[in-house]
Chains A and B, each alone.
Chain A
Amino acid sequence: QVQLVQSGAEVKKPGASVKVSCKASGYTFTRYGISWVRQAPGQGLEWMGWINGYNGNTNYEQKFQGRVTMTTDTSTSTAYMELRSLRSDDTAMYYCARESFKGLIRLFDCWGQGTLVTVSS
């Protein structure tokens, strides 16, 4: 079955970087894109950006431009999200989600289990 498995929880100091992985299985990785969505404690969902699983093209939310890099390794069907210059308000659960299509509608039909990133001095 389609599955996304993310790397484990991270604790980082302010100013550091974090790189979260998302390993896909159960489908052809290059036929779908991956979005990254984060959720601060007790808050809503915030889309961070998207990467095309076929050619690596990206589209980042303006808020994260310059601080985030999304990449893929098609040989291992793994997507990565690196966030730099971490601040305390980056403390959140980070999710990867597969973007699928129903007709022209893009949607998230499978989510990783989430990776908790805590930023604290």
Chain B
Amino acid sequence: DIQMTQSPSSLSTSVGDRVTITCRASQSIANYLLWYQQKPGKVPNLLIYAASSLHSGVPSRFSGSGSGTDFTLTISSLQPEDFATYFCQQSFSFPWTFGQGTKVEI
């Protein structure tokens, strides 16, 4: 199975800050990397697919980069509604696996 490791597990930040979350795969997954946002008590929502493509309706302050084993999710200027937990996921090979999540809090 492909292990997905996110860092940090949590981070304290402020509105307007630039936030960077990293995700590392245990083997190369090309660009088969997704990012989801989950707010408390809500379902996950897709933000980024193919490592760097923005899903429809997602604000442009979100961006993704990377390929192979190392990936990054960046929020250019954090907004109040962005406080949430972010998960990466690989869809390169079964079983699909998720990172453990990064909680972005005030």
Contacts and interface: CB of A to CB of B under 8 A. Distances in A.
Interface residues of B, number: 25
A105 B91 contact: yes
B80 interface: no
Interface in A34-48: 35, 44-47
B49 A107 contact: yes
A2 to B, nearest CB: 12
Interface string A75-106: 00000000000000000000100000011111
A61 interface: yes
5 contacts: A44-B98, A45-B89, A45-B98, A95-B44, A102-B49
Interface of B: 1, 31-32, 34, 36, 38, 43-46, 49-50, 53, 55, 87, 89, 91, 94-101
Interface of A: 35, 44-47, 50, 59, 61-62, 95, 102-109, 111-114
